[in-house]
Structure 1
Amino acid sequence: MSHVMSVLGPVEGEDLGTVLMHEHLTGGGTSDPVAQAAQRDSIEPTAIAVVEAVKQRGVGTFVDPCTPEIGRDPVLLREVSERTGVNIIVATGFHCGVDHEPDWLETGTEDALTERFVSEIVEGIGDSGVRAGVIKVGTPAGNWHGVWESAVRAAGRAQKETGVAVITHTSGSGGDHQLELLKEGGADPGRVLIGHVDHRHSTPAYLLKLIKQGATIGFDRVGLTVFLPDELRAGLAIGMVRSGHVDRLVISMDSVAVWLGKESPYLKGAPAPMTYLFDDFLPRLREMGLTAEEEEQIFRRTPRRLLCGD
């Protein structure tokens, strides 16, 4: 597999450019196609402006791992990609949360979920004409068992069958449990990105455990200081680089261009979507000694390996 499926079709690894592995055009909205169509015209100008801004900073591709529970709109993503020329990759999978538990929580089976994920990758998402290019796994905070474990195994089975990458949502812990279940389903850990490890609850030992088990880790909440101040986030990232793990690290923001839900404490005071990383955080890493080659690895080579397998 030398390509990844974008909202406009296959993209070769060499054409990805600089990649942001975890960003959102919208969040907190509805997944109802009729309601999405009604609001799309008002959303699109802001979404386009955000994408154009990071394109000016060299971004060629970004992954939007939004799922139906948090308002995935593949048609909007396709239209923005067409207008901007930036590759956008949409996800199948699931995401949990206090206000957005999946509708299959009590009824989904592992076989049915595997079939759903594979169908959205191979055939497309509904009648949108858009195929998913990654699988999102978002599990609850704290201890989780039962149907959640079945759902994660289903994602592992879908990864094995389709070869696409898995991107996860964590709350500073639990990534090792996700990885164990994904591997039970047959997933290749080299194609798994354990997300949101830049958290006050994460320890270096936890990060190294994930890397030792073959996963890549995501410092993908840059600017969201409610989870970890950026000075500590930068220091931890440089520490992972200096420990010889630059090839197992990606950096992104988990930003939202247009928030459609109720006021979120996590987004209060958040910096400008996507651009803050390039205007403020990345210069800080460079001042701390990040080299051009290491930057190339984090933003180009590692995402290409995750997304395309090469």
Structure 2
Amino acid sequence: MRTVLGDAEPSELGICDAHDHLFLSSPQLAGQELDSVKSAARELAAFRTAGGESLIQWTPHGMGRGVGYLAELSRASGVRIVAATGLHQAVHYTPELLDRLRTGGLAELFVRELAEGIADTGVRAGLIKVAGGFHGLDAHARWTMRAAAEAHHATGAPIAVHLELGTGALDVLDLLCGELDVPPDRLILGHLNRSPDLTIHHQVAEAGAYLAFDGPSRAHHATDWRMPEAVRSLAEAGFAGQLLLGGDTTTSGARAVNGGPGLPYLLRGLRPRLELAVGKDVVERMFTENPGRAFAVEWA
């Protein structure tokens, strides 16, 4: 497990938010950037008070990761933080940046940020974040996923995938696992709860990938009200060991310190509802054992 303070044993993670953001900026979220160090510190403190012990930040390269602040935030809060390399959908970047990345070697960038460090911060990434499209993979997604697979084979790092509105999971599996030989248990598929298709969920679980149920509290997604049903269906089918939970806070207005649900909602709002659906033992595994395995790495 590669945290911003160095490598740690998976058993040391404790209660883990397996998909969230302390820092994030994008032209698609103008005016709602997560760019305040003070707010990030307060949000982490609220998460720690609620019982949180670790957080996986999925913010990839070029989206304002705040990497230079993560180590001190981790020390001050007592929350372990894992940073990401990778690349999101093309709409989150300027054409100039994408042109530079196409000529500069994307896989090499990922490997460098995983093995050596991000810029001159001394912080190494612990996962690779990439993204699919709505019900499919465009040329940009295939380019980034090929680079992610190459970086995985060079380092052993897990690959976390943003599924647009929860779709395209089987296409991702076909490319990364079928064509590019990434072991399915090194793959974390995010946002599956946003497309509550239980048949797809079971097919993904049967393939061996991890399923991240994240972004609860959003009124415009099928999150809270369908998530317990999906989790119960998968747990009863024997896939409880592949389920992860995350908050996926992406805008400043969604932070608890700004009046939104924020990081604490995952533990104070969602956890009790899931415990009613599948019991405390299964939910405890989803918060502790499962992310410990999903993000553990035997570094090459």
TM-score (norm 2): 0.87
Q: Distance in 1 between matches of 2:196 and 2:94?
A: 25
Aligned pair 1:15/2:42, yes or no?
no
Aligned partner of 1:292: which letter? K
2:21 corresponds in structure 1 to 24
Query: Could you tell me how far 1:102 is from its partner in structure 2?
Result: 6.9
Q: CA deviation at 1:182?
A: 1.9
Assess if the C-alpha contact under 8 Å between 1:96 and 1:102 holds in 2: no
Deviation at 1:276, TM superposition (A): 1.1
Offset of 1:150 from its aligned partner?
Answer: 2.4
Cα gap change, 1:100 to 1:205, in 2 (>3 Å): same
3-state DSSP of counterpart to 1:59: coil
Q: Does 1:277 align with 2:266?
A: yes
Distance 2:117 2:153 in 1: 18
Distance change in 2, residues 1:160/1:291 (3 Å)? same
1:63-142 equivalence runs, <5 A: 63-96=56-89, 98-100=91-93, 103=96, 105=98, 108=101, 112-142=105-135
Alpha-carbon distance, 1:305 to partner:
0.7
Counterpart-to-counterpart distance in 2, 1:26 and 1:206:
31
1:286 equivalent to 2:281? Answer no
Query: How far has the Cα of 1:309 moved from its partner?
Result: 4.9
Residues 89 and 140, structure 2, Cα contact 8 Å, conserved in 1: no
Distance 1:270 1:182 in 2: 39
How much does 1:103 deviate? 4.9
Secondary structure class of the residue paired with 1:70: coil
- Cα distance change on mapping 1:97 and 1:254 into 2, 3 Å: farther
What is the aligned-residue identity percentage?
Answer: 27
**Pair 1:271–1:58, CA change in 2 (3 A):** same
Q: State how many pairs are aligned.
A: 289
8 Å CA contact 2:158–2:186 kept in 1: the answer is yes
Deviations 1:68-110 (A, max 9, x none): 3422110122221121121100000011153436756456559
Measured after TM superposition, the shift of residue 10 of structure 1 is 0.9
Q: Distance in 2 between matches of 1:110 and 1:150?
A: 12
SS at match of 2:83: strand
Separation (CA, whole Å) in 2 of partners of 1:103 and 1:202: 37
Aligned equivalents of 1:176 and 1:143: distance in 2? Answer: 9
TM-score when normalising by structure 1: 0.84
Q: Deviations over 1:204-236 (max 9, x none)?
A: 111111112110111111112311141222222
In structure 2, the partner of 1:188 is 183
Superimposed CA distance per residue, residues 161-210 of structure 1 (whole angstroms, 9 cap, x where no aligned partner): 211211110122112222222223332210211000011x3411111111
Other-structure match for 1:55: 48
Q: What RMSD in Å do the two structures reach over aligned CA positions?
A: 2.8
Residue aligned with 1:231, SS: coil
5+ residue gaps, structure 1, are: 31-35
Q: 1:102 to 1:182 in 2, by over 3 A?
A: farther
Residue 262 of structure 2 aligns with an amino acid whose one-letter code is P
Return 5+ residue gaps in structure 2 as ranges: 28-32
